[in-house]
Chain A
Protein backbone atom coordinates (compact mmCIF):
# COMPACT_ATOMS: atom_id res chain seq x y z
CA UNK A 1 0.00 0.00 0.00
CA UNK A 2 2.68 2.46 -0.81
CA UNK A 3 1.58 5.98 -1.75
CA UNK A 4 3.99 8.03 -3.67
CA UNK A 5 4.32 11.58 -2.37
CA UNK A 6 4.09 14.07 -5.13
CA UNK A 7 7.01 16.44 -5.20
CA UNK A 8 5.67 19.31 -7.25
CA UNK A 9 9.11 20.70 -7.72
CA UNK A 10 8.70 23.69 -9.95
CA UNK A 11 5.99 25.62 -8.04
CA UNK A 12 7.08 28.12 -5.37
CA UNK A 13 4.58 28.72 -2.56
CA UNK A 14 6.32 31.59 -0.78
CA UNK A 15 4.43 34.88 -0.63
CA UNK A 16 6.07 38.08 -1.67
CA UNK A 17 6.79 39.79 1.64
CA UNK A 18 8.73 42.78 0.39
CA UNK A 19 5.80 45.30 0.46
CA UNK A 20 4.92 44.20 3.99
CA UNK A 21 8.47 44.80 5.15
CA UNK A 22 8.42 48.21 3.55
CA UNK A 23 5.26 49.21 5.35
CA UNK A 24 6.46 47.86 8.67
CA UNK A 25 9.81 49.58 8.40
CA UNK A 26 8.09 52.90 7.76
CA UNK A 27 5.75 52.37 10.74
CA UNK A 28 8.67 51.40 12.92
CA UNK A 29 10.63 54.49 11.97
CA UNK A 30 7.59 56.72 12.59
CA UNK A 31 7.11 55.28 16.06
CA UNK A 32 10.80 55.51 16.86
CA UNK A 33 10.85 59.17 15.89
CA UNK A 34 7.69 60.17 17.73
CA UNK A 35 8.42 58.50 21.07
CA UNK A 36 11.45 60.60 22.07
CA UNK A 37 9.57 63.74 21.10
CA UNK A 38 6.71 62.78 23.38
CA UNK A 39 9.06 62.30 26.30
CA UNK A 40 11.55 64.98 25.42
CA UNK A 41 12.82 67.57 27.83
CA UNK A 42 11.40 66.39 31.06
CA UNK A 43 11.31 63.08 32.82
CA UNK A 44 9.67 62.29 36.10
CA UNK A 45 8.35 59.06 37.47
CA UNK A 46 4.88 59.80 38.83
CA UNK A 47 3.67 57.93 41.91
CA UNK A 48 1.40 54.93 41.57
CA UNK A 49 -2.16 54.63 42.74
CA UNK A 50 -5.29 52.61 42.28
CA UNK A 51 -8.37 54.84 42.33
CA UNK A 52 -7.53 57.24 39.56
CA UNK A 53 -9.61 59.23 37.15
CA UNK A 54 -8.80 58.90 33.45
CA UNK A 55 -7.74 62.15 31.84
CA UNK A 56 -7.05 61.54 28.16
CA UNK A 57 -4.66 64.01 26.66
CA UNK A 58 -6.26 66.88 24.80
CA UNK A 59 -5.22 69.92 22.86
CA UNK A 60 -4.68 72.85 25.17
CA UNK A 61 -3.80 70.85 28.26
CA UNK A 62 -1.24 72.59 30.41
CA UNK A 63 1.20 70.35 32.21
CA UNK A 64 3.44 71.50 35.01
CA UNK A 65 6.31 69.10 35.52
CA UNK A 66 8.40 68.90 38.66
CA UNK A 67 11.46 66.69 38.36
CA UNK A 68 13.34 64.91 41.13
CA UNK A 69 15.44 68.02 41.77
CA UNK A 70 12.35 70.19 42.22
CA UNK A 71 12.87 72.01 38.92
CA UNK A 72 9.77 73.21 37.09
CA UNK A 73 8.84 72.46 33.52
CA UNK A 74 5.91 74.06 31.76
CA UNK A 75 4.69 71.78 28.97
CA UNK A 76 8.04 69.99 29.00
CA UNK A 77 10.23 73.02 28.60
CA UNK A 78 12.33 74.10 31.52
CA UNK A 79 11.32 77.31 33.21
CA UNK A 80 13.02 79.22 35.97
CA UNK A 81 11.31 78.44 39.25
CA UNK A 82 10.76 82.08 40.10
CA UNK A 83 8.93 82.63 36.80
CA UNK A 84 6.22 80.10 37.62
CA UNK A 85 3.49 82.53 38.74
CA UNK A 86 4.03 84.87 35.83
CA UNK A 87 4.05 82.17 33.14
CA UNK A 88 1.09 80.26 34.57
CA UNK A 89 -0.77 83.51 35.12
CA UNK A 90 -0.41 84.35 31.44
CA UNK A 91 -2.34 81.19 30.66
CA UNK A 92 -4.94 81.09 33.41
CA UNK A 93 -5.69 84.69 34.36
CA UNK A 94 -8.09 85.12 31.47
CA UNK A 95 -11.27 83.62 30.08
CA UNK A 96 -10.75 79.90 29.55
CA UNK A 97 -12.77 76.77 29.08
CA UNK A 98 -11.38 75.20 32.21
CA UNK A 99 -8.99 76.04 34.97
CA UNK A 100 -7.37 72.64 35.29
CA UNK A 101 -3.63 72.26 35.35
CA UNK A 102 -1.98 68.89 35.18
CA UNK A 103 0.85 68.42 37.62
CA UNK A 104 3.32 65.67 36.92
CA UNK A 105 5.68 65.47 39.85
CA UNK A 106 8.35 62.94 40.70
CA UNK A 107 7.22 60.41 43.28
CA UNK A 108 10.15 60.80 45.67
CA UNK A 109 9.84 64.56 45.94
CA UNK A 110 9.09 66.02 49.30
CA UNK A 111 5.44 66.95 49.50
CA UNK A 112 6.31 70.49 50.58
CA UNK A 113 7.77 71.17 47.17
CA UNK A 114 4.58 70.01 45.50
CA UNK A 115 2.30 72.01 47.81
CA UNK A 116 4.51 74.98 47.25
CA UNK A 117 3.97 74.68 43.50
CA UNK A 118 0.23 74.12 44.00
CA UNK A 119 0.01 77.22 46.20
CA UNK A 120 1.77 79.28 43.63
CA UNK A 121 -0.29 78.16 40.65
CA UNK A 122 -3.47 78.70 42.67
CA UNK A 123 -2.45 82.34 42.94
CA UNK A 124 -2.09 82.39 39.16
CA UNK A 125 -5.67 81.36 38.54
CA UNK A 126 -5.54 77.55 38.52
CA UNK A 127 -8.57 76.11 40.30
CA UNK A 128 -8.10 72.37 39.89
CA UNK A 129 -4.78 70.56 39.92
CA UNK A 130 -4.87 67.09 38.40
CA UNK A 131 -1.99 65.21 39.98
CA UNK A 132 -0.79 62.77 37.35
CA UNK A 133 -0.44 59.27 38.76
CA UNK A 134 0.26 55.92 37.16
CA UNK A 135 -2.15 53.07 37.61
CA UNK A 136 -0.58 50.32 39.71
CA UNK A 137 -0.34 47.32 37.38
CA UNK A 138 -3.19 44.82 37.61
CA UNK A 139 -5.46 47.07 39.61
CA UNK A 140 -8.72 48.77 38.80
CA UNK A 141 -10.30 51.80 40.37
CA UNK A 142 -12.88 51.15 43.09
CA UNK A 143 -14.82 54.19 41.89
CA UNK A 144 -17.32 53.07 39.28
CA UNK A 145 -17.34 56.35 37.38
CA UNK A 146 -13.62 55.99 36.73
CA UNK A 147 -14.13 52.77 34.84
CA UNK A 148 -16.54 54.30 32.34
CA UNK A 149 -14.54 55.59 29.44
CA UNK A 150 -13.98 59.32 29.71
CA UNK A 151 -15.67 61.97 27.69
CA UNK A 152 -19.05 61.83 29.38
CA UNK A 153 -17.70 63.33 32.60
Chain B
Protein backbone atom coordinates (compact mmCIF):
# COMPACT_ATOMS: atom_id res chain seq x y z
CA UNK B 1 0.00 0.00 0.00
CA UNK B 2 2.70 2.45 -0.81
CA UNK B 3 1.69 5.82 -2.13
CA UNK B 4 4.09 7.59 -4.34
CA UNK B 5 4.29 11.29 -3.66
CA UNK B 6 3.98 13.42 -6.75
CA UNK B 7 7.35 14.88 -7.31
CA UNK B 8 6.54 16.62 -10.52
CA UNK B 9 6.20 20.35 -9.63
CA UNK B 10 9.87 20.83 -8.97
CA UNK B 11 10.36 23.64 -11.47
CA UNK B 12 7.46 25.76 -10.12
CA UNK B 13 8.48 28.53 -7.68
CA UNK B 14 6.35 28.27 -4.58
CA UNK B 15 7.63 31.49 -2.88
CA UNK B 16 5.07 34.24 -2.47
CA UNK B 17 5.93 37.61 -3.90
CA UNK B 18 6.03 39.68 -0.74
CA UNK B 19 7.51 42.91 -2.07
CA UNK B 20 4.21 44.84 -2.42
CA UNK B 21 3.19 43.77 1.06
CA UNK B 22 6.45 45.07 2.50
CA UNK B 23 5.90 48.36 0.73
CA UNK B 24 2.46 48.78 2.22
CA UNK B 25 3.63 47.75 5.68
CA UNK B 26 6.54 50.17 5.61
CA UNK B 27 4.28 53.06 4.69
CA UNK B 28 1.82 52.17 7.45
CA UNK B 29 4.64 51.85 9.94
CA UNK B 30 6.06 55.25 9.04
CA UNK B 31 2.63 56.87 9.32
CA UNK B 32 2.07 55.46 12.79
CA UNK B 33 5.55 56.38 13.94
CA UNK B 34 4.99 59.97 12.89
CA UNK B 35 1.71 60.24 14.75
CA UNK B 36 3.00 59.05 18.11
CA UNK B 37 5.72 61.48 19.17
CA UNK B 38 3.70 64.63 18.51
CA UNK B 39 5.13 66.83 21.22
CA UNK B 40 2.71 68.74 23.33
CA UNK B 41 2.71 72.50 23.33
CA UNK B 42 0.84 74.92 25.49
CA UNK B 43 0.45 78.50 26.66
CA UNK B 44 1.04 78.95 30.38
CA UNK B 45 -1.41 81.15 32.22
CA UNK B 46 -1.38 82.31 35.81
CA UNK B 47 -4.65 81.70 37.56
CA UNK B 48 -6.16 84.17 40.02
CA UNK B 49 -5.36 83.72 43.66
CA UNK B 50 -8.51 82.33 45.28
CA UNK B 51 -7.78 83.96 48.62
CA UNK B 52 -8.86 87.56 48.15
CA UNK B 53 -6.82 90.41 49.52
CA UNK B 54 -9.41 93.18 49.75
CA UNK B 55 -7.22 96.16 50.65
CA UNK B 56 -4.55 95.56 48.01
CA UNK B 57 -7.02 94.60 45.31
CA UNK B 58 -6.75 98.11 43.89
CA UNK B 59 -5.95 98.03 40.21
CA UNK B 60 -2.34 98.70 39.50
CA UNK B 61 -2.41 101.65 37.07
CA UNK B 62 0.58 100.30 35.22
CA UNK B 63 -0.87 96.97 34.21
CA UNK B 64 -1.94 96.10 30.70
CA UNK B 65 -5.25 94.41 30.07
CA UNK B 66 -5.97 92.94 26.67
CA UNK B 67 -9.63 92.42 26.05
CA UNK B 68 -11.06 90.05 23.47
CA UNK B 69 -14.37 91.46 22.31
CA UNK B 70 -17.06 89.87 20.14
CA UNK B 71 -16.81 90.01 16.34
CA UNK B 72 -13.04 89.63 16.31
CA UNK B 73 -12.41 92.97 18.00
CA UNK B 74 -9.68 93.64 20.50
CA UNK B 75 -8.89 96.35 23.01
CA UNK B 76 -5.75 97.18 24.95
CA UNK B 77 -6.53 99.00 28.19
CA UNK B 78 -10.03 99.77 26.90
CA UNK B 79 -8.64 101.30 23.74
CA UNK B 80 -9.91 99.44 20.65
CA UNK B 81 -7.32 98.22 18.22
CA UNK B 82 -7.41 96.53 14.84
CA UNK B 83 -6.64 92.86 14.77
CA UNK B 84 -3.83 93.30 12.27
CA UNK B 85 -2.09 95.95 14.36
CA UNK B 86 -2.29 94.13 17.68
CA UNK B 87 1.08 92.42 17.52
CA UNK B 88 2.84 95.62 16.49
CA UNK B 89 1.18 97.65 19.24
CA UNK B 90 1.92 95.12 21.95
CA UNK B 91 5.52 94.80 20.82
CA UNK B 92 5.93 98.56 21.04
CA UNK B 93 4.32 98.64 24.47
CA UNK B 94 6.35 95.83 25.96
CA UNK B 95 9.78 96.62 24.54
CA UNK B 96 10.64 99.29 27.15
CA UNK B 97 8.79 97.68 30.06
CA UNK B 98 10.71 95.63 32.60
CA UNK B 99 7.75 93.57 33.73
CA UNK B 100 6.24 91.60 30.91
CA UNK B 101 2.87 90.77 32.38
CA UNK B 102 -0.43 90.92 30.57
CA UNK B 103 -3.96 90.18 31.62
CA UNK B 104 -6.11 88.67 28.91
CA UNK B 105 -9.80 89.06 29.44
CA UNK B 106 -12.41 87.49 27.20
CA UNK B 107 -15.92 88.68 26.63
CA UNK B 108 -18.63 86.21 27.56
CA UNK B 109 -19.56 85.44 23.96
CA UNK B 110 -16.15 85.00 22.35
CA UNK B 111 -14.75 81.68 21.26
CA UNK B 112 -11.90 80.02 23.08
CA UNK B 113 -9.76 80.04 19.95
CA UNK B 114 -10.00 83.84 19.70
CA UNK B 115 -8.63 84.21 23.21
CA UNK B 116 -5.85 81.74 22.48
CA UNK B 117 -5.02 83.79 19.40
CA UNK B 118 -4.74 86.92 21.54
CA UNK B 119 -2.52 85.17 24.09
CA UNK B 120 -0.43 83.85 21.24
CA UNK B 121 0.08 87.38 19.89
CA UNK B 122 0.98 88.61 23.35
CA UNK B 123 3.65 85.94 23.71
CA UNK B 124 4.96 86.89 20.29
CA UNK B 125 5.22 90.50 21.50
CA UNK B 126 7.51 89.45 24.32
CA UNK B 127 5.06 88.93 27.16
CA UNK B 128 6.35 86.44 29.70
CA UNK B 129 3.43 86.08 32.09
CA UNK B 130 -0.18 85.82 31.06
CA UNK B 131 -2.76 86.32 33.76
CA UNK B 132 -6.34 85.18 33.56
CA UNK B 133 -8.59 87.52 35.55
CA UNK B 134 -11.53 85.88 37.29
CA UNK B 135 -14.90 86.32 35.73
Interface residue count on the B side (C-beta < 8 Å): 45
Interface residue count on the A side (C-beta < 8 Å): 56
B42-80 interface with A by 8 A CB criterion: 42-50, 68
Q: Are A28 and B29 in contact (CB under 8 A)?
A: yes
**A51-B47 in contact given A35-B32, A56-B39 (Cβ < 8 Å):** no
Q: Are A51 and B132 in contact (CB under 8 A)?
A: no
Closest to A145 in B: B128
Q: Which residues of A contact B (CB under 8 A)?
A: 17-18, 20-21, 24-25, 27-28, 31-32, 34-35, 38, 47-57, 100, 102, 105-116, 118-119, 121-123, 126-135, 141-143
CB of B111 within 8 A of chain A? Answer: yes
Interface of B: prevailing SS: mixed
Q: Are B32 and A32 in contact (CB under 8 A)?
A: yes
CB of B135 within 8 A of chain A? Answer: yes
Question: Which 8 A/B pairs are nearest by Cβ-Cβ distance?
Answer: A122-B47, A49-B120, A31-B32, A130-B42, A47-B113, A52-B41, A111-B106, A51-B123
Q: Of the candidates A53, A100, A119, which one forms a contact with B43 in the assembled complex, judged by CB atoms under 8 Å apart?
A: A53
Q: Are A28 and B28 in contact (CB under 8 A)?
A: yes
Q: Are B29 and A119 in contact (CB under 8 A)?
A: no
Q: Are B47 and A126 in contact (CB under 8 A)?
A: yes
Q: Are B112 and A109 in contact (CB under 8 A)?
A: yes
A-B contact count (CB 8 A): 155
**A47-B32 in contact given A20-B22, A56-B40 (Cβ < 8 Å):** no
Q: Of the candidates B26, B41, B46, B47, which one forms a contact with A133 in the assembled complex, judged by CB atoms under 8 Å apart?
A: B41
Kindly name the residue among A27, A54, A111, A129 whose own CB sees the greatest number of chain B CB atoms within 10 A.
A111
CB of B115 within 8 A of chain A? Answer: yes
CB of B84 within 8 A of chain A? Answer: no
Closest to A45 in B: B113
CA–CA, A54 and B112, complex, Å: 20
B99-135 interface with A by 8 A CB criterion: 106-117, 119-121, 123-124, 126, 132, 134-135
Q: Are A111 and B124 in contact (CB under 8 A)?
A: no
